[in-house]
A = this chain, B = another copy of it.
């Protein structure tokens, strides 16, 4: 059983993973915490604490072996077990997510899209077929899907979340700019892209003094 990590630590781990992968792919054998800290603009002490929290350690003055550290993070973050997901909404955001190549590395496998637009049904996007939403419940059951990504405008997102829950979905990744409400046992991540912009925007103001 893994130790429960704080939210902020958990948020940083995939970012460490990305950097370690980059260094590994460039053929660099070791990476030091000071380098990770610099690249992510995080305090070095924090980087060391986070890595200690996942029971990994490097060699003094040499750093972390990129191949081993990468493998450790993959195991800890359970990245090698691909997680199948359905995507509701074949609009511009849905298509962008379906085509996004960065997901594979993190174990997310979007296997089908759902929409209501008759012109889109039957098309394939990045080898994933678009089905009519009326087939959703049946296909969730058939393919034992636990995760759904919602990528439709606000008003409809709540209805789709309710449909997903009624179909047996356990986790919802919501890209609609509303907070969806579901039973407490369902895991929801509200991806508020615009909110992330506010952080950037506040930092610009800080820099102005």
Which chain A residues numbered 1 to 30 have a C-beta less than 8 Å away from chain B? 4, 7-8, 10-11, 13-15, 17-19, 22
Indicate whether A190 reaches chain B with its CB closer than 8 angstroms: yes
**B105 in contact with A204 (CB, 8 Å):** no
**B83 in contact with A201 (CB, 8 Å):** yes
**Which of A56-64, A114-122, A191-199 lies on the face that meets chain B?**
A191-199
Docked Cα-Cα span, A10 to B199, in Å, equals: 7
**A194 in contact with B105 (CB, 8 Å):** yes
| Contacting residues, chain B, for A192 (C-beta < 8 A) | 14-15, 18, 102
Docked Cα-Cα span, A189 to B200, in Å, equals: 6
Give A176-199 as 1s and 0s: 1 = Cβ < 8 Å from B's Cβ atoms. 011101000101111111111111
| Contacting residues, chain B, for A79 (C-beta < 8 A) | 198
| Contacting residues, chain B, for A41 (C-beta < 8 A) | 188
State the Cβ distance, A74 to closest chain B Cβ, in Å: 11
**A197 in contact with B170 (CB, 8 Å):** no
**Which of A91-99, A128-136, A137-145, A159-167 lies on the face that meets chain B?**
A91-99
| Given A177-B101, A190-B15, A207-B187: A198 and B77 interface contact (C-beta under 8 Å) | yes
Docked Cα-Cα span, A20 to B202, in Å, equals: 20
Residue of B nearest to A199 (CB): B10
Other A-B pairs, 14, CB within 8 Å; known A15-B195, A17-B195 = A10-B199, A14-B199, A15-B190, A22-B179, A41-B188, A77-B202, A78-B202, A92-B96, A93-B100, A106-B194, A107-B198, A108-B197, A147-B204, A185-B207
